[in-house]
Amino acid sequence: MKLPTELKLITAKPFGIDIELAYATSNNFTGHAIYKSHDCYLHPLAAQGIKHASALLRPLNLKLKVWDAFRPKTAQAELFRCFPDPDYVSDPETGLCSHCRGIAVDLTIIDHFGHELEMGTPFDDFRPQAHHGNKQVSELAQRNRLLLAGVMNIVGFDPIDTEWWHYQLPDAMDYPIIKPEQIPPISH
């Protein structure tokens, strides 16, 4: 089992990314804030991968925008309660729950003006159009999804088929679900 020494706080400037945690606001599919904090955490190996992906995009004048990273199991339960479809939201009692392990990230690519690249659907769009390889989205969206997939693959993340924005470290079950006492103190 690959135990984290501790979750790593991910901040915008040192990582060269933008962070806009969707579940820390009401601007998400539930219509209400799930998180009490805007702090973004990842397992140290996942954090290292995000930093590397950011460095790969920098020469293209692009960067990553993170919508979600580590997710407490209680938050996972609330998301599953609001949308109980395990193809899109992992059941916290029976599913993989890679976000609860600190090894998953939901993200996109933005340009140097901070505009999100066209990906064909918004974040948390639970329809087949959000699946990798869907040909119902524009050619530009397909190219941008492939750019994101390529960068994330190079740095060691795997996609899931149903969400173009979700990437996780391989062998997710090798990482434990983070328990409340392992969560770093939340800043307010």
Q: For 127-152, how does the pLDDT look when each residue is reduced to its tens digit (9 = 90+)?
A: 999 999 999 999 999 999 999 999 99
Within a domain: 135: yes
Contacts of 77 (CB under 8 A, 6+ apart): 92
Q: What is the pTM of this model?
A: 0.94
Distance between first and last Cα of the chain: 32
Query: C-alpha angle with apex 68: 114 to 179, nearest 5 degrees?
Result: 155
Whose tokens are 């933008």? That residue is 18
Within a domain: 97: yes
Query: Are 56 and 102 contacting, i.e. CB atoms less than 8 angstroms apart?
Result: no
Q: Which residues are catalytic?
A: 163
CA distance 102 to 11: 15
Within a domain: 3: no
Looking up residue 163, the CATH number of its domain turns out to be 3.30.1380.10
- Give 47-84 pLDDT, tens digit per residue: 999 999 999 999 999 999 999 999 999 999 999 999 99
**69: domain range?**
8-182
The C-alpha torsion from 84 through 89 and 95 to 99, rounded to 10°, is -140
Q: What is the β-pairing status of strands 18-19 and 63-68?
A: parallel
Query: Are 124 and 22 contacting, i.e. CB atoms less than 8 angstroms apart?
Result: yes
Please tell me the total count of domains within the chain.
1
Within a domain: 13: yes
| Average pLDDT in the chain | 93
